[in-house]
Amino acid sequence: MKTTYGFGQHLMLDGYGCNRKKLMDMKLLYDFLDTYPSEMKMTKVMPPYVFSCESKNPENWGYSGFVIIAESHISIHTFPEKNYLSLDIFSCKTFDSQKAIQHVVELFEVKEKEIRVLDRGTEFPHNFIRAAEIVRIDRTAVSD
């Protein structure tokens, strides 16, 4: 899927039945966030940040990580006790969401998945001069 209009594409993937050991591997998470932007032909702005998240409920602990890219961000949250991960990739530059899904499914051995791909900012004016012209014409038509 590719963005057809708007500001950018947002891939949201929920993965179930993942490999627990991989969900607990901070180095694997870091390496994914460190290398995947270049695989998407995106520009990493800073090194990734991955940290452990504790919870009062022992089943809800896990790891969260993100990397800022010039085009927006990639984030991942893992819950090893539940064999679950959530991933977001948001970019103002079009990317191959099917390739990203396949990469994550293979890397974390995802058994079941929920996927959403959205066009964000559908009213975002890519051509400001043209957008202003359309608004002017629309306002003129309404006032007549």
The residue from 10, 72, 91, 97 that is catalytic is 72
Based on the residue annotation, tell me whether 103 is a catalytic residue of this protein.
Answer: no
Based on the residue annotation, tell me whether 73 is a catalytic residue of this protein.
Answer: no
The residue from 92, 97, 126, 143 that is catalytic is 92
The residue from 10, 77, 91, 97 that is catalytic is 77
Q: Which two tokens mark 55?
A: 């919870």
Rounded CA separation 109/81 (Å): 15
Based on the residue annotation, tell me whether 53 is a catalytic residue of this protein.
Answer: no
DSSP string of 4-69, one letter each residue: -SSSEEEEEEEEES--HHHHT-HHHHHHHHHHHHHHTT--B-S--EEEEE--SSGGG-EEEEEEEE
**What is the helix (H) or strand (E) element at residue 104, kind and residue range?**
helix 97-108
Catalytic residues, by residue number, are 72, 77, 92
